Amino acid sequence: MSKLAVCEELHFTKAAEKLGISQPTLSLQIKTMEDELQVPLFDRVGKKIVLTQAGLLLREHARQLVR
C-alpha cells in the first residue's frame, strides 16, 4: 500500500502522512524495493517526484491488486 500511496501523491511526505508513518521510513521502503527490483520507480526532482516507466507499471499493478 505504501508504494501506491507514493504513486498517487507523488510526494513522499504527503504519502507518509496519509499512511501514518514517518517519511524516512517510507523512503527506505521505496529505496529497498528499487534496490531489489534493480530499477528506479521514481525520478526525484527537488522535492517532487515523477513516476518512471517502471513506476507507472507498479502503480497499475498495485491498483489492480487493491481492486
Please write the tens of the pLDDT for every residue from 1-56: 666 788 888 888 888 898 999 999 998 999 999 999 999 999 988 777 899 999 99
Q: What is the per-residue pLDDT for 7?
A: 80
The single residue listed with the C-alpha cell 500500500 is 1
Q: What is the per-residue pLDDT for 2?
A: 66
Alpha helices for the chain (secondary structure H) = 2-9, 12-19, 23-37, 53-66
CATH of domain 2-66: 1.10.10.10
Which one, of 67, 54, 45, lies nearest residue 7 by Cα? 54
pTM beyond 0.85: the answer is no
So where are the chain's domains? 2-66
